[in-house]
Amino acid sequence: MAAEAMAPAKPAVRYRDEFAWWDRIKKPLFYGVLIGWSIIAVTPFYLTVVFSLKPLTHLYEAPFFWPTPFTLENYLKVVTEFRHLFPRWMLNSALVAGLLAVVRTLFCAMGGYAFARLRFPGRDLLFWAMLITMMIPGQVTLIPNFLIVRQMKLLDSLLALIVPGIAGAFGVFMMTQFYKNLPRELEEAAMIDGAGWFTIFFRIVLPISRPALLTLALFTFQGEWNAFMWPLIVLNSPEKFTLPLGLSWFKGEYYTVYSVVLAGSMFNSVPILLLFFLFQGYFTRGIAITGLREG
């Protein structure tokens, strides 16, 4: 023990010296991963734009990353080949997506406020049952939904797209998370003044919920604008088709003219891209509301 006490102490290795190499590379590595992932995510969309601007006869010829020769023939073909139906498809998509964005947002806000603020028997059980429905794949409920819509005699009409989508579990959950964080003093002050629950909701809570409502409306519009499977099942008449369903007609039975299909997909993507660039803050805020706040 005495010899150990007399031995010179080893110089302590400082944490910063030991991991200095990691401190030097972690920031470039972080940005490298972000740049690489961004390239992987953007490449499919970029190739869609490139191939939609190439003529069919040169579709499989190099260069593959630049539209040479350049042509707008594919876009012209999309518009002219179904010139009587194409405006109708766009109008149907806008009508269904826009109406559901408004109605579903209102109903989900009402449901979310009830779960977050009201006290009634079975509230927690109903909320957990609603959450369980979010974990069930949509394909499982296709047949029951189809049977219900057929029983209501709504097949081959736009109401078959609107009525089943009036409310959604995701929207109710998102608004519940938002309303749980509102200060209760607002409601208590309104109750002292004699306001009821409906007055509090429509005149106080709803106006201050505009950021969350707009976020939910954007998510709803995006989902319904791109919907394909459900319209394919319940619609039969071409004049009732939505835009994604109508563009599927460019796929042949034995072959597909990919340049025209890609040009058609760009028509379907442009409105969503515009919405995203205009309201990208609301998209990220919606993810934060549903993912970061306590349940």
- Give the pLDDT confidence of 47-81 residue by residue, as tens digits: 888 888 888 777 777 777 888 888 888 888 888 87
pLDDT at 293: 46
Mean pLDDT to the nearest integer, 244-269 = 77
CA dist 146 and 143 (Å) reads: 5
Ranking 4-13, 112-121, 219-228 by mean pLDDT, the lowest is 4-13
Q: Name beta bridge partners: 256.
A: 251
Highest mean pLDDT among 185-189, 240-244, 258-262: 240-244
Average pLDDT, rounded, for the chain = 82
Query: How does pLDDT run across 74-106, given as a tens digit for each residue?
Result: 888 888 877 778 889 889 999 999 999 999 999
Nearest alpha-carbon partner for 228 in 138, 106, 115: 138
Mean pLDDT to the nearest integer, 211-216 = 86
* Higher per-residue confidence, 288 vs 5: 288
Mean pLDDT to the nearest integer, 242-251 = 81
Residues 6+ away with beta carbon under 8 Å from 155: 149, 234, 236
**Confidence at 151, pLDDT banded by 50, 70, 90:** very high
Residue reference for tokens 């579903």 = 104
CA 111 to chain CA centroid, Å, is 20
292 has a pLDDT exceeding 50 = no
Q: Which two tokens stand for residue 88?
A: 């109708």
295 has a pLDDT exceeding 80 = no
Count Cβ atoms within 10 A of the Cβ of residue 39 and give its class: 0-12 exposed, 13-18 middle, 19 or more buried. exposed
Q: Which two tokens stand for residue 154?
A: 């709504």
pLDDT at 40: 92
pLDDT at 24: 79
CA dist 269 and 49 (Å) reads: 11
Residue reference for tokens 């190739």 = 47
Residue reference for tokens 């110089």 = 11
pTM value surpassing 0.95: no
231 has a pLDDT exceeding 60 = yes
Which of left, alpha, beta for 153 (phi over 0: left; psi -120 to 50: alpha)?
A: left
